[in-house]
């Protein structure tokens, strides 16, 4: 089977990493895989792994993107197109999804699915709760939770990683690997953590490692410089874009994160404080894990800095509990999020779609695409207004704003 994988880009990000790692794992199960995406930092990784990479036009050049996709499908004899997130999913639906009988599978790794995606499009989502919700809407939906390469993501020599990052003996390190963007209040959470570590540094040897880029990077750097100048030492260590964030996880005593970053932290046997919106912070424990497994590694509503301080202080004061929670997280990821088992599941989904490639009639597809075109037009009009409520609404569906 020849699969064409279309992530939205190859910049550093959880969805893109998940796309290329699964593509590589599926290839090891005997399928041919190609990747079609704009060139970014992850493109070199794709090429070094020996996966054929075809550079797509940059976002916004929809007509050229669709033409390139159609050429690839025809010239390479593609059997199935696997898109990630809403942009490529829309473009593929309105190009190869119309012109050929090649099935399109759309992965949406956010907490919700954009309303404007075509209703006939088979979806692959990352949480049981979202899969159930979509099934009730009579959508064709498959569940595949985010996956982690357990061999590449584990703590081997924590001391060496900490030394390389200039961390002193006795420091308690809190790590964040995140896009520094207002989407899902990621940036707000980072700034909240900076303010808290600033206060804690008055009485404790703590350091906050921050790896990631985005529109908030300069603001984060400015806050870090102020804090470090006040204490006369590095308390907030802003690493910016990090091609390989594994040392940042490995060097941590505690990790703050959401989504794929949270799962990676557990793979490194680190105690995890899950970040969410509206002041949500909660330490993962065996007692509360079922909710995260069902709804995703996220949360909503809390007491903000007060909750984060309580969770961090408890973990800092109890090193044995940190070790216990880290071991529990690693075991959980091995059982639930292993990359190889995910590749096997994804291969079965591909075969199922190929077996039912003609299940949606031409009339059904035409109606679905017409509705989608109208909804996309409404979405773009609402975005031009710049209303904060609209931006917040769409951020939950992974729509980059």
Residue partners of 383: CB distance under 8 A and separation at least 6: 390, 391, 394, 401
Full strand arrangement of the beta sheet holding 206-211: 236-240, 206-211, 172-177, 254-257, 272-275, 281-283
Q: Where are the beta strands (DSSP E) in 215-331?
A: 236-240, 254-257, 272-275, 281-283
Residue partners of 287: CB distance under 8 A and separation at least 6: none
Give the per-residue pLDDT at 359. 61
CA distance 346 to 344: 5
Which helix H or strand E contains 183, and what residues bound it?
A: none
pTM of the predicted model as reported, rounded to 2 decimal places: 0.87
Give the per-residue pLDDT at 356. 77
CA distance 203 to 190: 21
Give the per-residue pLDDT at 297. 95
Whether the CB-CB separation of 116 and 41 falls below 8 Å is answered with no
Give the per-residue pLDDT at 114. 87
Domains and CATH numbers, the chain: 2-147+338-395 (3.40.50.2000), 158-336 (3.40.50.2000)
Whether the CB-CB separation of 101 and 109 falls below 8 Å is answered with no
Give the per-residue pLDDT at 401. 39
338-360: pLDDT as tens digits: 999 999 999 999 999 988 765 66
CA distance 38 to 277: 30
Give the per-residue pLDDT at 372. 84
- Spans in the chain with pLDDT lower than 70: 59-60, 97, 99-100, 357-361, 383, 385-401
User: What token pair was written down for 72?
Assistant: 């690839």
């Amino acid at each position: 089977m020849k699969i064409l994988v279309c992530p939205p880009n190859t910049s550093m990000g959880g969805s893109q990493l998940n796309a290329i790692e699964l593509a590589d794992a599926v290839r090891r199960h005997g399928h041919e895989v190609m990747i079609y995406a704009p060139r970014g930092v992850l493109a070199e990784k794709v090429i070094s792994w020996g996966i054929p990479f075809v550079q797509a036009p940059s976002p916004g050049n929809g007509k050229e993107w669709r033409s390139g996709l159609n050429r690839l499908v025809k010239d390479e004899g593609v059997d199935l197109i696997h898109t990630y997130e809403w942009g490529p999913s829309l473009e593929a639906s309105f190009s190869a999804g119309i012109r050929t009988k090649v099935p399109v599978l759309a992965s949406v790794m956010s907490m919700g699915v954009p309303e404007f995606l075509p209703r006939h499009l088979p979806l692959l989502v990352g949480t049981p709760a979202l899969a159930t919700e979509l099934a009730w809407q009579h959508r064709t939906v498959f569940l595949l939770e985010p996956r982690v390469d357990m061999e590449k993501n584990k703590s081997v020599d924590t001391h060496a990683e900490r030394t390389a990052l200039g961390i002193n003996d006795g420091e308690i390190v809190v790590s964040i690997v995140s896009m520094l963007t207002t989407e899902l209040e990621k940036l707000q959470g980072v700034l909240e953590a900076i303010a808290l570590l600033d206060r804690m540094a008055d009485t404790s040897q703590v350091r906050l490692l921050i790896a990631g880029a985005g529109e908030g990077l300069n603001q984060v750097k400015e806050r870090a410089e102020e804090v470090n100048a006040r204490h006369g030492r590095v308390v907030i260590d802003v690493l910016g874009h990090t091609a390989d964030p594994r040392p940042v996880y490995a060097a941590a005593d505690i990790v703050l994160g959401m989504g794929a970053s949270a799962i990676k932290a557990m793979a490194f046997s680190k105690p995890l404080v899950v970040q969410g919106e509206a002041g949500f912070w909660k330490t993962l424990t065996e007692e509360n894990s079922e909710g995260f497994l069902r709804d995703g590694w996220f949360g909503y509503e809390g007491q903000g800095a007060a909750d984060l301080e309580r969770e961090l202080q408890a973990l800092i004061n109890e090193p044995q509990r940190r070790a216990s929670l880290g071991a529990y997280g690693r075991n959980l990821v091995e059982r639930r999020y292993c990359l190889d088992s995910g590749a096997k599941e994804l291969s079965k989904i591909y075969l199922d779609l190929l077996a039912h490639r003609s299940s949606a009639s031409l009339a059904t597809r035409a109606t679905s695409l017409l509705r989608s075109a109208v909804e996309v037009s409404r979405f773009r009009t609402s975005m031009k207004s710049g209303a904060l409520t609209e931006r917040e609404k769409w951020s939950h569906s992974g729509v980059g704003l």
